[in-house]
Amino acid sequence: MPFLHSNVVYGLPANDPAQVGKTNNDSDSIIEQAIGIPWSSNREASWVYFDCAVGVMLDSGIVVHNRLPQYKSSAFDTLASVALDDPKFDALAGPGVNVACRDQYTDIIQRMGHARYWFRLWGQALRVGYKIPIPGIKTIGGVPAIPYDKNPQWAYCGIAPGGNYSGVILWRAQWSLWYTTAVPPKNQTIPEADPSAHITGTSELPKEMQAPYSRADDNAKRTPTFDVPGIVVPK
């Protein structure tokens, strides 16, 4: 090897424990002590997702009395429009679902009671750091919502599987709550909100979406006269 040992170039013995080009200086101090990785200290920004919906079921109070068959035939009505093993199956262009009825009946419609409304609030959410409050409905359609317990209400809020962000809990919740009203709903208002999307159903739509703001890069020499009055500049 025609090259000098690198230690020798620097006046060190070739077998010195400190090897030029390999050995480094590190005090082995704990540099990261008290250096934190930020997590969402903002509660409003802690939602991973919030998926909640209000479903409405209506009993209009109408009863339909069925007549006897009005058509004399052994044929029966079917939704099918072709036999499955029809050899020309792939050449047919049928009507799809066959809803044409062979009968000629006219049933009797009778109003037996007032319309009844049921509302089901169900959903799930995931949140980091903070427990998820189970949502409920106070009013709907402009009238008070009353729990409807013929369908059992259930909900839970627990730690999501593996939901440990280095000491920060990932909370998961699901719920299913039923409501009805004692008086007829008066309007079309159904509560809608998504805290993770930071928007509610009553939000006013913008004319257009605001384009993202940019900032001067870190090499830029800023021109103070370009500052917009009212801009908050952290000190």
Partner 1 sequence: MANFTTGPATLPDVGTLSYNGCVFSPLFATEMSGKPIQDNANRTIKLMEYSVSVDGYVTLPAGATSINSTMDSLRRLLTARGGSLTYQGRGFDLVVGPVAGGLIAGTARDLAWGPVPELLEFQPLGGGRSAKVKWRVKTHIAEIAGGKPRSRKSRGNKLVPVKDGLLLQFNYETLVGYGEDGYSSLEIRGTLEIPLARNPLQTTRTLPHTADDFRWQVEDRIMDGIDLARFRVAKRNFSVSRDKRVLEWDFSMEERPYMDMPPECTIARGTYSVRPAKVGMGLCLWLCTLRATYTVRADSPRRVAWLAFLTMLKFRMDASWSGFIKKDEQNPRRRFFVRNLIPPPDPFTAPVTFWAALLRSMRKNPSTPESEPVKAWLIDFSFDEGMYLDSKTVTFSATWRLTTMFSHILLASGLWTKLPDTDRDGNNIWATSVRSVSGMQSWLPNRLDPKLDVIVDFGGQ
Contact positions vs partner 1 (CB under 8 A) = 1-4, 6, 9-11, 20-27, 29, 31-32, 34-42, 44-50, 128-129, 165-166, 168, 196-199, 203, 209-219, 228-234
**What's the closest the beta carbon of residue 123 comes to partner 1, in angstroms?**
13
Cβ atoms of residues 178 and 148 within 8 Å: yes
Residue 203 Cβ, how far from partner 1 at the closest point, in Å?
A: 8
- Phi, psi of 8, rounded to the nearest 5 degrees: -65, -35
Residue with tokens 């429009």: 81
- Residue 221 CB, nearest approach to partner 1 (Å): 13
Instruction: Between 106 and 166, name the residue whose CB sits nearer to partner 1.
Output: 166
Q: How far is the CB of 55 from partner 1 (least distance, A)?
A: 20
- Spatial CA neighbour of 167 closest among 125, 126, 128: 128
Q: Work out how close the CB of 161 gets to partner 1 at its nearest, in angstroms, rounded to a whole number.
A: 15
The DSSP bridge partners found for residue 174 are 124, 156
CA distance readout (Å), 9 to 74, 93, 200: 109, 90, 73
**Shortest spacing between CB 25 and partner 1, in angstroms:** 6
Instruction: Report whether 109 contacts 121 (CB < 8 A).
Output: no
Indicate the Cα dihedral angle 139, 144, 150, 151, nearest 10°: 0
Which CB atom, from 185 or from 195, has the smaller least distance to partner 1?
195
Instruction: Select 6 or 81, whichever has its Cβ closest to partner 1.
Output: 6
Alpha-carbon span 103 to 109, nearest angstrom: 18
Minimal distance in Å, beta carbon 37 to partner 1?
6
- Between 166 and 223, name the residue whose CB sits nearer to partner 1: 166
Nearer CB in complex with partner 1: 58/168: 168
In single-letter form, the type of residue at position 149 comes to D
Our CB check for partner 1 shows the closer of 154 and 165 to be 165
Contacts of 175 (CB under 8 A, 6+ apart): 121, 122, 123, 124, 134, 135, 154, 155, 156
Comparison of 32 and 90: residue with beta carbon closer to partner 1: 32
Residues 110 and 66: beta-carbon distance below 8 Å: no
Query: CB within 8 A of 216, min separation 6: which ones?
Result: 222
